[in-house]
Structure 1
Amino acid sequence: MKNFAARKIAIAGLIFAIAQTASAQPPPDDTARFLAGMPLPKNSPLAPLTTDPAWQEHSANFERAFAKMNRRQLLKLHAWEEQYFPEAREHIPVAFYMFSGPDFLYVDQFFPKADVYILCGKESMGPPPDPLQTGNLGSALHNLEEAMNSSLRFSFFITKDMKVDLQSQELKGTLPILYVFLARADKSIKDVTYGSLSAGGEFQRSHPGNGGTPGVRIDYIDNHSGQQQTLYYFTTDISDGGISSSPGFLRFCDHFGVGCSFLKSSSYLMFEEGFNRIRDFILDHSKTIVQDDAGIPLA
């Protein structure tokens, strides 16, 4: 009887220890601000790491990079929107950004008042980023800067470089980049849910990266407007063959009805016959489409 009681106490102690460890993990908003090189609450579990010279250098690098990008690109974009794109000020139910990879930055600039953003790419989202578990923090932060370099300098990710960058670092996948863009866009992350899509298009909780169409749901608040918004990112193949093999993604998107679409640097894929289904979906589900020359052919 005593052995049984002792065993129960030991199990209870283990459960308590696990719960303490879980609660000690940094909140996702703290992680996003840390990766973005931004100030943290003094009581954040990550606050002690901000005294590391590697993080301070990373913070200074991102301050310069984002300030330069704002001057070169975003201020001009906002001036253009004021004159030519009043739709940017409209509330919309959903913004679709196919072939996006982790480029949340620009869809948020063109459609800042969407309730839901749906992004997708072949790039894996990676595991939940946790700076507390990162062995070589300086190297990891430097690699994150390298992975984002082309986007911050030229406004697009170079696909072949991104595939290497996103898998060769401790902070793997698209999720760290999405976190940085959210934090730098003055969003506060409230909840992050990992899941996958069923064949019928239902988002179901699952272990990060598991399932036929793995994805993540990030609920956040825009600190400027106070609007509650949601970002989804899915790792999926949206060629005709990919959609036939995994139909859940388009069925998930269909649940949101008609919204707006954004297309940038999609490599002229929808000029080809192998991408008819995603092209038709965008045309059928978009009140407005903003795209560059590489999007949907005009004729």
Structure 2
Amino acid sequence: MNGTPMESYANAPGWKTHATELDRAWKQFDDRQLAKIRVWAPQVLGPAYQDTGPMYYMFSGPDFLYANAFFPNASTYILCGTEPVGPIPDIAKIPQHVLPSALANLRRSLDSVLSLSFFITKKMKVDLRQVQLSGTLPVLYVFLARAGCTIDSVETVAIDKTGAFVPAGKGTTPGVKITFTGPAGRPQTLYYFTTDLADWAIKVNPNFGAFCEQQGQGVTLLKAASYLMHSDNFSKVRGYLLAHSKVIVQDDSGIPYRFFSKDKWEVRFYGRYLGPIKRFLKNGQLDLAKDNAAAAPPPLPFSFGYQWQPSRSSLIVATPK
């Protein structure tokens, strides 16, 4: 960075404070979560961990971290949420007197995922509305860098009802395409689209679904998904994932357990299922509780989903037969 326009920013007190505080928070998070997932995932997921096809993470927001931790070899990451993409960040255009507050706000937007393992949607929408470093892109930049990835190109995109890339305009779905080189040295691609996955919204705007159809079979992660697919109002995205997933790794807030019929799916349990947190009590699953208890599954060494303490977290790994 020496001799570049960024040198003065790197030496600014606001930047140094940001780097120090983020380094500290990140080390705690990596030790508690990601380092353990990096050991657990290849042992448990086997061939799916090595899969180089697309990776689906619906209702993810900008959570590239967990997508990459569970499936680091995916060629294409497909993330989506209702949070806006935002403009492509340019630190050099932020006035130095504004930089400390902009970076502090960026750190605040990371608080919940670093401490609880998931984004709090309402809080994130407020954090991402700041004038500087707005939208999901700054968060994606941080996560890619911290995952050891080098960003090669960034392009805001839009797709139409056929799933094709078109100029942004009425009836299109906005997104971003990030090409990057991962730690293994292979080129990979990350897409994030701003879209609503409710059935009524897909009927009005089928763009994202058409895009996904073109990607084909992939691996799937679902975490802290607000139990939306427990409702028939989200049957289309639920059906798509069931039909297009080589493996589904999820907590109980994803696809209801009853959809994994024993004649079509092999389901493995990890961690004790204790039911939903208070906010989602109506979404308890007696069949999941029964089968989880009968399986006496090994504990999870990391937290996952709304039950953010490892001793209370659980997930399933579902593979089609």
Instruction: State whether residues 89 and 137 of structure 2, in contact with CA within 8 Å, keep that contact through their aligned partners in structure 1.
Output: yes
Equivalent residue, structure 1, for 2:301: none
Task: Show structure 1 runs of 5+ residues with no match.
Answer: 1-40
User: Which whole-Å CA distance do the structure 2 matches of 1:190 and 1:204 have between them?
Assistant: 22
1:291 pairs with 2:253: no
Instruction: State whether residues 171 and 205 of structure 2, in contact with CA within 8 Å, keep that contact through their aligned partners in structure 1.
Output: no
Query: Quick one: which amino acid aligns to residue 244 of structure 1?
Result: K
Task: Show structure 2 runs of 5+ residues with no match.
Answer: 259-321
1:180 pairs with 2:142: yes
Instruction: State whether residues 88 and 110 of structure 1, in contact with CA within 8 Å, keep that contact through their aligned partners in structure 2.
Output: no
* TM-score normalised by L of structure 2: 0.77
Which one has the bigger helix percentage? Answer: 1
In the TM superposition, residue 43 of structure 1 has moved relative to its aligned partner by 4.5
Equivalent residue, structure 2, for 1:119: 79
Equivalent residue, structure 1, for 2:63: 103
1:76 pairs with 2:36: yes
Structure showing greater radius of gyration is 1
Instruction: State whether residues 81 and 88 of structure 1, in contact with CA within 8 Å, keep that contact through their aligned partners in structure 2.
Output: no
Q: Deviations over 1:106-131 (max 9, x none)?
A: 00000100000010000001111111
Equivalent residue, structure 1, for 2:201: 242
In the TM superposition, residue 82 of structure 1 has moved relative to its aligned partner by 4.2
User: Which whole-Å CA distance do the structure 2 matches of 1:176 and 1:203 have between them?
Assistant: 23
- What is the total number of aligned residue pairs between the two structures? 256
In the TM superposition, residue 200 of structure 1 has moved relative to its aligned partner by 0.7
User: Which whole-Å CA distance do the structure 1 matches of 2:175 and 2:157 have between them?
Assistant: 5
User: Which whole-Å CA distance do the structure 1 matches of 2:132 and 2:213 have between them?
Assistant: 35
Equivalent residue, structure 2, for 1:218: 178
Equivalent residue, structure 1, for 2:164: 202
Counterpart secondary structure, 2:128 = helix
In the TM superposition, residue 154 of structure 1 has moved relative to its aligned partner by 1.2
Question: How is 1:87-98 mapped onto 2 (pairs within 5 angstroms)?
Answer: 87=47, 89-98=49-58
Say what the alpha-carbon RMSD is for the aligned residues.
1.5
Counterpart secondary structure, 2:150 = strand
Aligned mate of 1:134, from 94, 111, 131: 94
1:161 pairs with 2:118: no
Instruction: State whether residues 55 and 138 of structure 1, in contact with CA within 8 Å, keep that contact through their aligned partners in structure 2.
Output: yes
Instruction: State whether residues 269 and 295 of structure 1, in contact with CA within 8 Å, keep that contact through their aligned partners in structure 2.
Output: yes
Percent identity reads: 46
Q: Deviations over 1:7-63 (max 9, x none)?
A: xxxxxxxxxxxxxxxxxxxxxxxxxxxxxxxxxx33443222100011000000110
Instruction: State whether residues 48 and 247 of structure 2, in contact with CA within 8 Å, keep that contact through their aligned partners in structure 1.
Output: no
1:267 pairs with 2:226: yes
